[in-house]
Amino acid sequence: MRLPDNTAGQRLDFVLSELTEHSRAHIQKMLKDGDIQLDQQTVKPSYRVFGGEHVTIPELIIQPTALQPEEIALDILFEDEYLLIVNKPVGMVVHPSHGHDSGTLVHALLHHCPDLPGINGVERPGIVHRLDKDTSGSLVVAKTEAAHHGLSQLFSTHDIQREYLAWCKGAPPWHEQRIESMIGRHPQHRQKMAVLSEHSKRGRWAITDARREQVFDSGFSRMRLTLHTGRTHQIRVHLAHEHIPVLGDAVYARAFTPAKHQPKILCDVLLALKRQALHAEVLGFIHPITGEPIRSQAPLPDDLQQLNNALQMVHDDIKYDGIV
């Protein structure tokens, strides 16, 4: 393959991912492994091309997976021959990892889409992004290599509409705010992420648009968050940093016990909440193959619907008592 002249100055990994059906991550791996040669030499993924170079690149080979399909029901919000959007339930891990070698979304997808093996590697077929185990909501999966490449590009350029709902302890003094910071590994607790100095070399810039959707008189709020980047635990870290941690968050919020004066209906719901009250409601993008505008909206799961109902009921009672 000869690189077009108009690619001059661009990174080699980006150029090759644009010119082939390989994902950028796959291109980077092949470059690091020496499987791709530029003018018969190995180069780094960050190499800036001049245009006109000759590239030797292996053909795309679909690799088999050792994972066994599992017949697990999926709540599918959208599907065509190229991709699907699922409403991931709380408690489901997206892909296999240490301690989670069965019952994952990938295992369910392999049963639903037998042709998925090989897409984006062996262990994570079709996965473009992920949600934490205890976050529910919309998640898009590629069914072909071309769709995976296109979706990956949309995520890398932040051309994906991602809106989350979060129920928080406390309420911010502002109605809308863009939260921008560096996020990276916590310097003392490696399992956590943290807001770092903006000059830190260990973090990555993260941007979240936050809107206060409702303040409940019981001391809680419902927030709508729009992601412009996709850092690990981004929303949870940003809200905790703003002193409005997500209810039920065992990592970024202090242990919480409802106050004795709270009505029983609210106390019961709060005590029954066993996960962070965070839901990926809206996922919107331009279909990378058909060009069709896609917008999915995942309905609230029962636990968050009950939480919202209880907060609203208590709020309305307080308001009514105040008027009387």
Give 45-49 contacts, CB < 8 A, sequence gap 24+.
45/11, 45/12, 45/13, 46/11, 46/12, 46/13, 47/11, 47/12, 48/9, 48/10, 48/11, 48/12, 49/3, 49/7, 49/8, 49/9, 49/10, 49/11, 49/12, 49/15
273 with 248: CB under 8 angstroms?
yes
What residue type is assigned to position 230 of the chain?
G
Question: Both tokens of residue 295?
Answer: 């917008």
Q: Is 75 a catalytic residue?
A: no
Residue 35 main-chain phi, psi, to 5 deg: -80, -20
**Per annotation, catalytic residue among 13, 132, 134, 249:** 132
Closest to 10 (Cα-Cα) out of 44, 40, 50, 37? 50
DSSP state of 290: T
Whole-angstrom CA distances from 286 to 23, 87, 253 are 18, 19, 36
In 10 A of CB 305, how many CB atoms?
12
What residues are labeled active site?
Answer: 132
